[in-house]
């Protein structure tokens, strides 16, 4: 019985995230893919297909049929497909590799959002929950609702409620701390708990400016090969051992579960089965902290903390932060690139930055950010969401084939 090819990353590239008013999207994606190609040691003529992602380029840059735009840019006539999120593009590319349609493909994501931020806020809310939008909700509204539902469900009161609020603030401080060592991050400056609390007071809400990821421009890319040919390009391949996706209702109030994301819970279980590993094997997480609340609940949805308890581990771990969360005696390194909060959040490229970080960590090439784990760092897990937990993508990466 022939085994299926294993999708293998042989090179990654990215731009700095932030405000790139002076640059066109083609400049950004070209920079990212050339860096990935250089690392992989390939030429563009070697590519058999391209899978790309963006949410808003037709709106922000008046680009229609992005595939033709990318063909013109790359001077290639290979099959190309467009998805919303980087993780969606990557999953499609993995499927093509496993189906033996292609052996070498480019996966890329790009976004230009800062130029027209005021014009796309409505579109962001429509992505999350159209009914909340019609009721006058903002892109931040559901995060606040989820937090209040969480507090109510788990009966968090008094001193515990104050600790939960501090724990959420600690997430923001922690992610800015990690971004200081990330040369590509949008915000390479520290913040304090006081910054977070003052912003909440100004907003007169439980969540303020420093609890949310920014709007960003940027691009990311990777070269994906079948394991059959990967060894001819690199002696340090990183394998995508398991990928999975799941979908929930778009309307948040209509869901059965409103203190977490069912789609994440389903996606991670399927990804673990495909990878043939357990959670205890994973030490490195890149998770979708569009808000501090989402980082907290993702630890529970992914199964690393029991429901209703993640804030306790965050609070205790960050009192004297050593670079990781300690959950029931296990060290868990989370969002070492600064997460969406500080690295940035150019939607179509965001998932690529997560994969980039895990790839570099597994190869021991993350520089000052490099994990000093107990034993060998063998596996990492990336979680990307579309909308407000409407779709979840989970990828498990490893240094070795099991």
Q: What is the architecture, at CATH level 2, of domain 7-117+215-230?
A: 3-Layer(aba) Sandwich (3.40)
Any idea where the domains of the chain sit in the sequence?
A: 7-117+215-230
DSSP 58-75: HHHS---SHHHHHHHHHT
- Predicted confidence at residue 1, as pLDDT, reads 45
Do residues 86 and 51 lie in contact, with contact meaning Cβ atoms separated by under 8 Å? Answer: no
Find, among 38, 369, 344, the residue nearest to 177 by Cα. 369
Residue 23 is given by DSSP the state S
- Residue 102 backbone phi and psi in degrees, to 5: -140, 160
Low pLDDT (below 50) residues in the chain:
1
Over residues 75-110, the pLDDT tens digits come to 999 999 999 999 999 999 999 999 999 999 999 999
The structure's pTM equals 0.96
């Amino acid at each position: 019985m022939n085994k299926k090819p294993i999708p293998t990353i042989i090179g990654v590239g990215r731009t700095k995230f932030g405000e790139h008013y002076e640059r066109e999207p083609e400049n950004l994606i070209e920079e990212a893919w050339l860096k990935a190609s250089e690392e992989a040691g390939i030429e563009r003529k070697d590519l058999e297909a391209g899978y790309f992602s963006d949410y808003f380029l037709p709106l922000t840059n008046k680009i229609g049929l992005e595939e033709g735009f990318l063909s013109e840019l790359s001077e290639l006539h290979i099959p190309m497909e467009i998805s919303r999120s980087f993780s969606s593009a990557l999953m499609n590319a993995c499927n093509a590799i496993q189906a033996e349609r292609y052996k070498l493909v480019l996966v890329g994501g790009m976004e230009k959002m800062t130029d027209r931020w005021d014009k796309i806020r409505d579109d962001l809310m429509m992505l999350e929950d159209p009914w909340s939008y019609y009721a006058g909700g903002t892109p931040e509204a559901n995060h606040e609702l989820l937090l209040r539902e969480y507090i109510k469900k788990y009966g968090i009161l008094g001193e515990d409620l104050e600790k939960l609020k501090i724990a959420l603030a600690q997430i923001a401080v922690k992610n800015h701390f990690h971004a200081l060592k990330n040369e590509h991050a949008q915000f390479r400056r520290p913040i304090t708990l006081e910054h977070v609390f003052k912003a909440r007071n100004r907003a007169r809400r439980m969540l303020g400016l420093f609890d949310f990821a920014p709007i960003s421009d940027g691009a990311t890319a990777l070269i994906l090969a079948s394991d059959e040919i990967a060894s001819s390009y690199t002696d340090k391949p990183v394998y995508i051992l398991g990928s999975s996706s799941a979908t929930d209702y778009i309307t948040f109030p209509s869901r059965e579960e409103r203190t977490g994301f069912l789609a994440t819970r389903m996606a991670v279980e399927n990804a673990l089965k495909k990878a043939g590993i357990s959670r205890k094997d994973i030490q490195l997480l890149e998770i979708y902290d569009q808000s501090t609340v989402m980082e907290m609940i993702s630890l529970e949805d992914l199964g690393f903390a029991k429901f209703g308890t993640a804030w306790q581990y965050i609070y205790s771990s960050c009192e004297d932060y050593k670079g990781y969360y300690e959950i029931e005696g296990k060290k868990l390194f989370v969002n070492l690139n600064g997460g969406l909060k500080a690295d940035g959040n150019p939607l179509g490229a965001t998932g690529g930055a997560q994969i980039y970080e895990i790839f570099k960590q597994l190869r021991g090439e993350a520089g000052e950010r490099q994990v000093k784990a107990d034993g060998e760092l063998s596996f990492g897990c990336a979680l990307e969401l579309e909308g407000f937990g409407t779709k979840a993508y989970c990828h498990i990466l490893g240094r070795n084939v099991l």
